[in-house]
Amino acid sequence: MKKFVIAGTLAAAVAVAGTALAQQPAQTTPPAPAPKAKPATPPSTNAADQPAKPAKKAAKKSSEAGETAGHTAPKQQPNTTTDPNATPQTVTLGTVRIPPGVKADGKDLPAGSYTVRMTAEEAKPDARGAAQALERWAEFVQGGKVVAREMVTVIPASEIHLVQKDTAPPPGGSKVQKLRGGQYLRLWFNKAGNHYLVHLPTA
């Protein structure tokens, strides 16, 4: 009889202890503290630390080369769209004074005053322009005699701006210009709605 009493008492004690343990809250691991945020680095004021700025594009400079002209050498005749109406006959362009030290057709041309006239002969095979009919031979006449010749280029008045940026001589007039560098002397005639250019190499 005593054995049954002891066994019942132990069973009751075990049941009470299990109930007490079940009612206790489960232990949990506390969360780890969050890392402290680092303060933002203030922007640098050192010029060496700043990103390089793109270089500004250099402005294009345009200049006309020439002592009294717009370039250093004869410009090639453009493709003309207007009929220059160059007469097929010999025509007198004007009278000019040539300084010393120039050549015409590869020969020395003495200084002095010359009457320049354009012939009907095309400047073959030396013509370099778009149309050979617009490049003819010009004669230098002095004392009634032809003493030299050189190629003359015929340009319509409406298209002279494509070749020359300088101020043109007045209608019926002419001008003598030494190009920058002294390699060429330019004779410019304005006659009958066309411009006539003759370039004489310097000696």
Instruction: Confirm if 135 and 77 have CB atoms less than 8 A apart.
Output: yes
**134 vs 152: CA distance, rounded Å:** 8
Among 100-104, 119-123, 132-136, 137-141, the range scoring the smallest mean pLDDT is: 132-136
142-190 pLDDT tens trace: 999 999 999 999 999 999 989 888 899 999 999 999 998 889 999 999 9
Task: Render pLDDT for 1-38 as a digit per residue (tens, 0 to 9).
Answer: 444 444 454 444 444 444 444 455 445 555 555 555 55
What are the residue ranges spanned by the domains of the chain?
91-201
Number of Cβ atoms within 10 Å of the Cβ of 24? 7
Contact 93, 146 (CB under 8 A): no
Note the pTM of the prediction, 2 decimals. 0.59
CA 17 – CA 104 distance, rounded (Å): 133
State the Cα torsion 39-42-48-54 to the nearest 10°: 110
